[in-house]
Amino acid sequence: MWEESYQLGYIRARTVDDLWGYCRECYYAETCMAGCTAAEPLLGRPGNNPFCHHAR
Ligand code: SF4
């Protein structure tokens, strides 16, 4: 599903360069990619995830 799903394509193509704020510099960014995508509608773009417990 991860490799072929059209709906997940925008997440699959994401790189650390697409992130902003503290997510961009985070040690886990390559794996996490700013965490839950539910934060994106709130902020308008991936990164600086206000729900992250690691960044606090
Ligand atoms: S959501 Fe948290 S763990 Fe994930 S990249 Fe951002 S700061 Fe790092």
Tell me the residue range of the domain where 38 lies.
1-51
In ligand 1, the atom with minimum distance to the C-alpha of 23 is: 6
With pLDDT > 90 as the criterion, what percentage of the chain qualifies?
62
Indicate whether 24 belongs to any domain. yes
pLDDT of residue 55: 81
Is a pLDDT exceeding 80 seen at residue 37? no
- Tell me the C-alpha distance between 56 and 54, whole Å: 6
Total number of domains in the chain: 1
Q: What's the average model confidence in pLDDT over 18-30?
A: 95
Q: What's the average model confidence in pLDDT over 15-28?
A: 95
Ligand 1 pocket, residue 43 CB under 6 Å: no
Indicate whether 4 belongs to any domain. yes
- What residues have CB less than 8 Å from 55, skipping those under 6 apart? 22, 23, 26, 49
Confidence grade of residue 11 (pLDDT, cut at 50, 70, 90):
confident
Indicate whether 56 belongs to any domain. no
Indicate whether 46 belongs to any domain. yes
Residues pairing with 21 in the sheet:
none
Among 14, 43, 48, 52, say which to mutate for ligand 1: greatest number of ligand atoms within 8 Å of CB: 52
In ligand 1, the atom with minimum distance to the C-alpha of 36 is: 1
The whole-chain average pLDDT of the chain stands at 90
Query: Torsion angle, CA of 47/25/35/41, rounded to 10 degrees?
Result: 0
- Provide Rg for the chain, Cα atoms: 11
Element (H, E) at 31: helix 29-32
pTM here is 0.83
Indicate whether 15 belongs to any domain. yes
Ligand 1 pocket, residue 55 CB under 6 Å: yes
